[in-house]
Structure 1
Amino acid sequence: MRTIVRRTAVVVAALLPLAACGPSDAGDKTKLTIATFGEFGYAPLIAEYEKLHPDITVQNRVADFDTHHKGLATQLATGHGAADVVAIEEQYIPRYRKAKDKFVDLAAYGARDLEKQWAPWKWAQGTDGSFVLGLGTDMGSLALCYRRDLFAAAGLPTDRDAVAKLMPDWDSYAATAEAFTRKTPGVKFADSAGTVYTAMLNQSPENYFAAADDSFIADRNPSVRTAFYLSGGIAAKGQTAAATTFTQDWNVAIKQGSFATVACPAWMLSQIKEAGGDANKGKWDVTTVPGSSGNQGGSFLTVPKQSEHPKEAYELARWLTAPEQQKKLFLSDGILPSEPSVYADPQVVAHTDPYFGDAPIGRIFAASADKLRPNYRGLRDADVRPEFGRALGRIEDKTETVDQAWAEAVQQARALLK
């Protein structure tokens, strides 16, 4: 879910319970644990599930993104400590499909009967064709969040349809950044080069690795180079706030109105609201993202073999990812369903958000979801991707040119793969 930016592992043993956290029977109740990164909005759903299943109690273990995924790697390697239901973010799914011997095949409990529930590309991410690793939670189809007041100050259109026409692609986005900066030099156009880069990259069918054979292609994939040079070019011109998403600097920049645009999946809206507070209500709006839709975020609920109650764990995962629950999560928390029957639901499509000027977020994100196509994530994607993000950071802090940063990112990625 909310693809919170994140890093790697060793101290997990001190941070997470090492005693097998598979469920134990507490009196007459079966105890299940579910481990997520960040808040998935599950607290009220878990309370509801416990009422529907009085013989079951559910504990939700929440950690930050890096601790969670590093902890899972340690737990699987040592054979203990994993929760009964574990959320895995999409960038790690290819790696864990290769480690399927550590997980329960959910097909054994009837998961294949649910296949039509999800968008085909989402279902495909969670299976290798026969083995079903996980059930899909949300997805991160993109929109563009922008500050109406800052656009007005720069003499740009503020109506969301007019803004969409102004920036139908990323070249026009870069051109608009130039026009914006000339009129409002004290405000940055984008939050960070990394956000622009990621949005562009996620609109490509392949990123760092080839879908055919998982070979490293970043240095010869035009989509990667184009995204890097456009976002790096914006950064080199000082048009980004160098505020990385999910950092305190980003929260402060949102609150202070330091930048005017951010490519935003649905789950990011709650982050903007929380950081911006009441003082910024009505200043933000939402429109379609430049280019085609891309996916930024989304997770799967899996059941490690360590679970003492795999059937009950599967039933919990199935219930949490059912259409009824995905709809509740969107209406309450803006977490976009990965199931077409839900994001096409009239109540979801009609949903608006007063914080964003009553933007029709249900319609915008549903349309984006319909256009979304999967992009291939290689087995080493989670290792390579951060190198390019760090390279963009070096452009933003003026320690490297775009050419230098690109060359170093490619070199570091290749060194990692050796």
Structure 2
Amino acid sequence: MRTIVRRIALAVAALIPLAACSPGDAGEKTKLTIATFGEFGYAPLIAEYEKLHPDIAVQNRVTDFDTHHKGLATQLAAGRGAADVVAIEEQYMPQYRKVRDKFADLAGYGARELERQWVPWKWAQGTDGAFVLGLGTDMGSLALCYRRDLFQAAGLPVDRDEVAKLIPDWNAYAATAERFTAKTPGVKFADSAGTVYTAMLNQSPENYFSQRDDSFIADRNPSVRSAFFLSGGLAAKGQTAAATTFTQAWNVAIKQGSFATVACPAWMLSQIKEAGGDANRGKWDVTTVPGSSGNQGGSFLTVPKQGEHQKEAYELARWLTAPEQQKKLFLSDGILPSEPAVYEDPQVVAHTDAYFGDAPIGRIFASSAERLRPNYRGLRDADVRPEFGRALGRIEDRTETVDQAWTKAVQLALAALK
């Protein structure tokens, strides 16, 4: 989900070396491309891989989240244009499993021998029966990022353990929002209703579709309804900043201290640092997320069948997802791996972050990962999920009440499925 604006500039920059290099620069090297949405922290790893494999040259194509996934759909349909290795975000995996004939079966290259490398649910997301579609990269187990200075101004506890006791679940979160707003009316408690809603929804075993038969159940799933009405209630009371994650408005709100909390997967910490800058160093802290841990984000590396170097592409994907490389990514970029051997590693567990007041982020996110249980998304999740996000936006801009927004979201979701 790493869709911050500067990633587009990186994408453009990534294309420049192709034009600048003379034909002889790569010699007879096998050229591989890897396409990611946003920055996965792969640049130093790719440089290392090229040193270990002098016969391989790797180019990383970086684009934003939507452009990446829409482009992949077009490339697969056309039978050309896809990178040799392509990252796919976990919410899109169900729909790409339906067109698995467009991808190389990684089991044919020995991927099944690696199964125990990942937590079982992550491995299962990347497979379709015996077919192995992708190798897991990171996951998005949740914590709660909060502003210590704003909590103090509102007369709330600031110690991360005390904050965890104050907000053990989402009802307590809503009650704390009331206390916060009463003392600091000029600052919002949450960044957006959508962030709260997503975090709550990700803690439910099922969302919009039934795991049993993939039927639409959002209109009768109590988890969806409770998440919508609690987050929508925060919006209706003016307790959210209406700043959608990673938009320019969100970056500005982070920099200006316009809100006090955000449910944050490990990969979001670098985005908060980037948006907040040095002026906000030490003002943020990290504690456990309300409720149980849920998963927000995480990807897989796949190999489209149209590529000319599928075996070499698999070897690159295998190396990038190996525990040694995944550990480096967490220690350098805070990207939490989906591999127990890594997030249980003593060096990872002991890792702290000075920007967040030396918060023990290794321990917090490792504990969150241990408690995480996957939720069933459904084959057409991407068709209906946006309707509920837009509905929460209409509450935030005061054009609809919570009840009106809920009714319309359900109606539009059902229409999208016809």
Shorter chain as denominator, the TM-score bin is over 0.9
SS of alignment partner, residue 146 of structure 1: strand
Q: Which amino acid aligns with 1:30?
A: T
Q: Percent identity?
A: 87
SS of alignment partner, residue 249 of structure 2: helix
Deviation at 1:129, TM superposition (A): 2.1
The CA deviation string for residues 285-337 of structure 1, in whole angstroms up to 9 with x for no partner, is 00000000000000000000011010000000000000000000000000001
Partner of 1:19: none
SS of alignment partner, residue 61 of structure 1: strand
Partner of 1:138: 138
Partner of 1:374: 374
- How far apart, in 1, do the equivalents of 2:389 and 2:164 lie? 27
SS of alignment partner, residue 139 of structure 1: strand
- How far apart, in 2, do the equivalents of 1:198 and 1:204 lie? 10
CA contact (8 A) 2:2 2:37 kept: no
Partner of 1:9: none
Tell me the matched-pair count: 402
Partner of 2:105: 105
Q: Which amino acid aligns with 1:205?
A: P
Partner of 1:20: none
Partner of 2:299: 299
Counterpart check, 1:312 vs 2:318? no
Residues 330 and 264 (structure 1), Cα distance of their counterparts in 2 relative to 1, 3 Å cut: same
TM-score after normalising by structure 1:
0.95
TM-score after normalising by structure 2:
0.95
Partner of 2:257: 257
CA contact (8 A) 2:35 2:62 kept: yes
Deviation at 1:383, TM superposition (A): 1.3
Partner of 2:19: none
Q: Which amino acid aligns with 1:313?
A: A
Counterpart check, 1:191 vs 2:204? no
Partner of 1:149: 149
Deviation at 1:344, TM superposition (A): 0.2
- How far apart, in 2, do the equivalents of 1:251 and 1:385 lie? 24
The CA deviation string for residues 226-250 of structure 1, in whole angstroms up to 9 with x for no partner, is 0000000000000000000010000
1:275-354 pair list within 5 angstroms: 275-354=275-354
1:46-195 pair list within 5 angstroms: 46-195=46-195
Deviation at 1:258, TM superposition (A): 0.2
- How far apart, in 1, do the equivalents of 2:214 and 2:133 lie? 20
The CA deviation string for residues 389-414 of structure 1, in whole angstroms up to 9 with x for no partner, is 00000000000000000000000000
Q: Which amino acid aligns with 1:68?
A: H
- How far apart, in 2, do the equivalents of 1:84 and 1:379 lie? 25
CA contact (8 A) 1:5 1:65 kept: no
SS of alignment partner, residue 298 of structure 1: strand
Q: Which amino acid aligns with 1:60?
A: N
Partner of 1:233: 233
CA contact (8 A) 2:190 2:240 kept: yes
Unaligned runs of 5+ residues in structure 2 are 6-14, 16-22
The CA deviation string for residues 156-203 of structure 1, in whole angstroms up to 9 with x for no partner, is 000000000000000000000000000000000000000000000000
- How far apart, in 1, do the equivalents of 2:58 and 2:96 lie? 24
The CA deviation string for residues 253-284 of structure 1, in whole angstroms up to 9 with x for no partner, is 00000000000000000000000000000000
Aligned CA RMSD, in angstroms, stands at 1.5
Q: Which amino acid aligns with 1:195?
A: T
CA contact (8 A) 2:143 2:286 kept: yes
SS of alignment partner, residue 385 of structure 2: helix
